[in-house]
Structure 1
Amino acid sequence: MAGRPHALTVMLASALLVILASCSPPKPDVTLDLLHGDWQDVPGIRAASGGLQVTPTARRIVEQSGEGGQPNPPLNLAGTHLVVGGDFSLSATFADVSADASWALYDRPPVIADEFRVEPAGLRLTLQGSDLKIAVFDGKQKKDVTQPVPVHDEHVTVNDPGAPFTVRRSGDTLAVSSGTDTLSSLPLGKVFSSGELWLGFSSDSGDFEITSLKAVAPGNTGLRTSGAAAADVKPSGDGLQALAARTRQDFLVGAAVALGPLTGDEDYAREVVGNFGALTPENAMKPQFLSPQQGVYTFEEADAILAIAQSKGMAVHGHTIAFTEAMPRWMQQLPTGSKTERDASAAALLDYLTTVVTHFKGRLASLDVVNEPFDVNQGTSMQQNIWYRVFGPGYPAVVSKAVYAADPRVLQYINENGADVPGQRQDALLKLILDTNAQGGHIHGAGLQAHVYNLKTDAISADALTRTLNRFGDAGLHVRISENDVTDGQGKDAQAKQYATVLATCLRSPTCVSYTTWGVDDRYDWWIDDGGSLRQGHDHLFNNGQPTPAYDAVKRALGG
């Protein structure tokens, strides 16, 4: 039996290990070539012989009133982004800049709504001639979220615009250089604190090429590329869709989703893929996101959402074709003064419709062909939007027939709020659908949004919803609960009870074929109040990555 090692021997061995470790060479820098990464789902970027070609998209977010137009430049949300645990440098070289070239580097995707964009912490470089604008954002929202104010904003002169631009983080300092010239050095603050880097390139009025793009970091910082958060997530055997299928195999439980959190937030991806069997693109299929300029289409982000859905076996409900809001400026401003103008505008609208429906043909289970046709004050008169002004009050039939011609298999719905319970608005919706079909339309059913913004005035009882579903069923129509969300203004228990009531009532009725929540996690539940301030809501089944009491109630309603 060998004796125990002498204490001195152990100490010498330990010291030797320390010396050897201190003498071992440092890990070499990690260098990643990003030029040939996955950029196919970024609007305005195409592979070119010399690298990447960037063209303007004119993507902007228009407010409900049709005013405004906050820029919405794209990021590489569905492709490669970076993970790094410390210092790094990123360099890019631009060529053939015809007007302006912008490079965005953010530490998380922006939150995108149909009326505004919440700018994350990050950096934007904009080159125009020899002028370089350097704008740094800290992710904190000022009074007007639609006009984000950088915490650092300067213009510098670039001696050689063709030299590589480099963004370098070193400790608490952020430096921007061109070739060997340091252009700016500033305190880092909380910018790039997430450990992730999201990249985007865009131009307002010209095009340019990116001929080199690489990231470099010390070997011990863990620099690597990462794909979409949803890539490795699988549906859960005890998720909401799985539970619903035990009662009705063909019944779909869905959610409205956004690409940014679906690809960049592991909690959100787990919540969506684990629980839902269907999804609705929250904004990515609205007109201003699909066609920011007449004849120009930016399908990339919607395509990325649909690709994720297909890979997870999820059905997709398209949203939307004819709508008063979320329209690009060119569509809103189509002339309607004379018959000649209306004929030309009709051709433009139908060209848009046919292009969109044909593009998504075979990938959508159902589609909102008309969204919110009635006035916003819960009346029964139709909104006189561009579709109404061009085609008249029978425009839903025109839209429905054109959709059917482009894709006869997609199930068509007219989607409306405030028609979830019996009343004049429900009467008007049912009549509109029946009239549309009498005029040759192909409407399969009604989308009842079921927004509950105030439980004292908007609550939906099981009895009222049952009568509603029976009424549409008797008319030969189906119903989707299409956008259910519930305020917690009267408490979490009341919120949970209302959620469970709507879903359980829908599940019991053969008329009701699917149930969709409008959103997933309160982490992304933001709205702007009447004073222009950004507010966070708490209306969803998850909050900051955790299930809420409403989720538990919904699960119990499904037998889980």
Structure 2
Amino acid sequence: MVGRTHTLMVVLASGLLVVLGGCSSPEPTPEPDVTVDLLHENWKDVPGVTAGGDGLQITATARRIVQQDGGGGQPNPPLNLAGTHLVVGGDFTLSATFADVTADASWALYDRPPVIADEFRVEPAGLRLTLQGDDLKIAVFDGTQRSDMTQPVPVHDEHVRVSDPGAPLTVHRSGDTLRIASGADTLSTLPLGKVFSSGNLWLGLSSDSGAFDVTSLKAAAPESAGLRTSGAAAADVQPSADGLQALAARTRPDFRIGAAVALGPLTGDADYAREFVGNFGALTPENAMKPQFLSPQQGVYTFEEADAIIAIAESKGMIVHGHTIAFTEAMPRWMQELPSGTDAERRSSATALRDYVTTVVTHFKGRLDSLDVVNEPFDVDQGTSFQQNIWYRVLGPNYPAVVSQVVHDADPDVKQFINENGADVPGHRQDALLKLALDTNAQGGHIYGVGLQAHVYDLETDAISSGELSRTLATFEAAGLRVRISENDVTDGQGTDAQAEQYATVLATCLRSRACVSYTTWGVDDRYDWLTDNHGSVKQGHDFLFDDGHPTPAYDAMRRALGG
């Protein structure tokens, strides 16, 4: 089908005129422009974008972020995080040509990557233009964190009619003003605010419900603006000979210290990249391998961001722990709504779940050292009953064994773990986890060990002592199982000294036990530690080893625990 062609341009002009002593000076000779053809830059790691001979083909991914109860569904359109972004210190021009728009075409231009939390996306400062027929939606975000992150509110939001959809659309930035025009017609003039203040430009192309082609995509700027393309911030960073991983290897060469990471900060934040690559020898994708990110629609897979994260780990000599397969949360709507009322429905839904597991594990085969095949199976109130999730409803109470068998068939070499919270110290929750792991293997599963999350949200109630953790590790070792400290983070609610002591206690105890094969903290820098409180309000946490680019007392305590 031949569709209408739309040209989209973003233009920034300085309009500089110098007048001295009341005498006019001749107009300066315009600087030559530096031009970059973005169409042929790296787009391979962007979900929904396929490079072809004539340009880029964009298809809808339906990526959304659901809340813990399965509700909601905040849109999560992709940006080019691992590929090319622009760095420019002055005037610039961006232009794009869209063709064969079947429904809608969106182009995002942001100051920085979004922050993706478990249940919401923090929208960065930037501009999103969405073309649908002759309607152009202009949405401007200033990066302000609002109480309800699942409903980001633009500081400017309007719809304008494009009288000639084939005419160029332009956005002029001059000083503190943005002017959006179609051909010679001005559509909107608005204050710039905080948009385009970072000197970085991250590009995203997406469609909500259709497809379109991008046949031209260029950037241009005067030489003085310093326009250039840039890749991932982690690309030029190397592991430190004095980092946490290097210190641990002096005692136990096979022991890995890891962190959960997200692609946005790993590629877009030099501090975060330095902190992570310099100190850690293992990586867990924080969200990128959860079902809603890998398969937003049944039979449709968006592996690109997970692949990009793993590629960075591989380039730094790190191992990767996959997270996760069977999980109550972070499931796409299609998976949540699989029917399970009749035997026939359960058989059909079981086939869909098995196909998902086989497809995912086969895709990552040979790239994962270990994998959470079952995550948080027990109820959220710290009991020992199974959560009645889709895996349980379709496959029955022996679903961990079924999933484990399917994983083993697809990749017999990946080490399988069951990951759970609240089982870090002796008690009924730990007893249930041990029994589940052993029962799963007795039913034909291939569980290598357990993940103890070690979340410490309150040091008065959640603190983990060296003695209790030592007994825990001995218990699992006696049963023939290995242990990962899989998601350790510690609140600073009782002060940074108490936080540091707890971090060091967990690491040192793990390091002393041969049953404990690795230690992972659930984040890197507090800059990206965003959570919702009991009232639903979003707040920033202070639970990690770095805070806004600087080491915390907890980091120093970890180094001392490792003999550094």
TM range (shorter): over 0.9
Equivalent position to 1:404, from 392, 403, 408: 408
SS in 1 for 2:173: strand
Report the counterpart of residue 157 of structure 1 in structure 2: 161
In the alignment, the residues of structure 2 paired with residue 465 and residue 115 of structure 1 have an alpha-carbon distance, to the nearest angstrom, of: 30
How far is 1:27 from its partner? Answer: 3.4
Output the amino acid matched with 2:309: I
How far is 1:30 from its partner? Answer: 1.6
8 Å contact kept, 1:416–1:448? yes
Task: Kindly indicate whether residue 444 of structure 2 is the aligned counterpart of residue 444 of structure 1.
Answer: no
Matches of residues 114-513 of structure 1 in structure 2 within 5 Å?
A: 114-513=118-517
In the alignment, the residues of structure 1 paired with residue 503 and residue 238 of structure 2 have an alpha-carbon distance, to the nearest angstrom, of: 25
Map Cα deviations across residues 174-202 of structure 1 (whole Å, 9 max, x no partner).
22233443322211011111110000011
In the alignment, the residues of structure 1 paired with residue 110 and residue 233 of structure 2 have an alpha-carbon distance, to the nearest angstrom, of: 17
In the alignment, the residues of structure 2 paired with residue 369 and residue 161 of structure 1 have an alpha-carbon distance, to the nearest angstrom, of: 50
SS in 1 for 2:381: coil
Map Cα deviations across residues 453-489 of structure 1 (whole Å, 9 max, x no partner).
0000000000000000000000000000000000000
What is the CA RMSD across the aligned residues, in angstroms? 1.3
How far is 1:25 from its partner? Answer: 5.0
In the alignment, the residues of structure 2 paired with residue 87 and residue 485 of structure 1 have an alpha-carbon distance, to the nearest angstrom, of: 43
Matches of residues 106-121 of structure 1 in structure 2 within 5 Å?
A: 106-121=110-125
Structure 1: gaps of 5 or more residues: 1-21
TM-score, length of structure 1 as denominator length: 0.95
How far is 1:50 from its partner? Answer: 2.1
How far is 1:266 from its partner? Answer: 0.2
Map Cα deviations across residues 303-343 of structure 1 (whole Å, 9 max, x no partner).
00000001000000000000000000000000000000000
How far is 1:28 from its partner? Answer: 1.2
8 Å contact kept, 1:63–1:115? yes
Output the amino acid matched with 1:457: T
Task: Kindly indicate whether residue 49 of structure 2 is the aligned counterpart of residue 45 of structure 1.
Answer: yes
TM-score, length of structure 2 as denominator length: 0.94
SS in 2 for 1:555: helix
What is the percentage of aligned positions where both structures have the same residue? 80
Output the amino acid matched with 1:189: G
In the alignment, the residues of structure 2 paired with residue 110 and residue 297 of structure 1 have an alpha-carbon distance, to the nearest angstrom, of: 21
Output the amino acid matched with 1:381: S
SS in 2 for 1:185: strand
In the alignment, the residues of structure 2 paired with residue 247 and residue 199 of structure 1 have an alpha-carbon distance, to the nearest angstrom, of: 44
Moved more, 126-135 or 173-182: 173-182
Map Cα deviations across residues 324-373 of structure 1 (whole Å, 9 max, x no partner).
00000000000000000000000000000000000000000000000000
In the alignment, the residues of structure 2 paired with residue 493 and residue 391 of structure 1 have an alpha-carbon distance, to the nearest angstrom, of: 47
Output the amino acid matched with 2:121: R
8 Å contact kept, 1:92–1:166? no
Output the amino acid matched with 2:421: N
Equivalent position to 1:556, from 552, 555, 560: 560
Moved more, 367-376 or 182-191: 182-191
Report the counterpart of residue 31 of structure 2 in structure 1: 27
Moved more, 89-98 or 60-69: 89-98
8 Å contact kept, 1:90–1:214? yes
In the alignment, the residues of structure 2 paired with residue 96 and residue 221 of structure 1 have an alpha-carbon distance, to the nearest angstrom, of: 34
Equivalent position to 1:77, from 62, 81, 84: 81
Output the amino acid matched with 1:135: A
SS in 2 for 1:145: coil
Output the amino acid matched with 2:548: N
In the alignment, the residues of structure 2 paired with residue 25 and residue 387 of structure 1 have an alpha-carbon distance, to the nearest angstrom, of: 68
How far is 1:48 from its partner? Answer: 2.2
SS in 2 for 1:340: helix
Moved more, 106-115 or 176-185: 176-185
Larger Rg: 1
Output the amino acid matched with 2:246: A
Map Cα deviations across residues 114-134 of structure 1 (whole Å, 9 max, x no partner).
210000111111111000000
Map Cα deviations across residues 422-480 of structure 1 (whole Å, 9 max, x no partner).
00000000000000000010000000000000000000000000000000000000000
Report the counterpart of residue 11 of structure 2 in structure 1: none
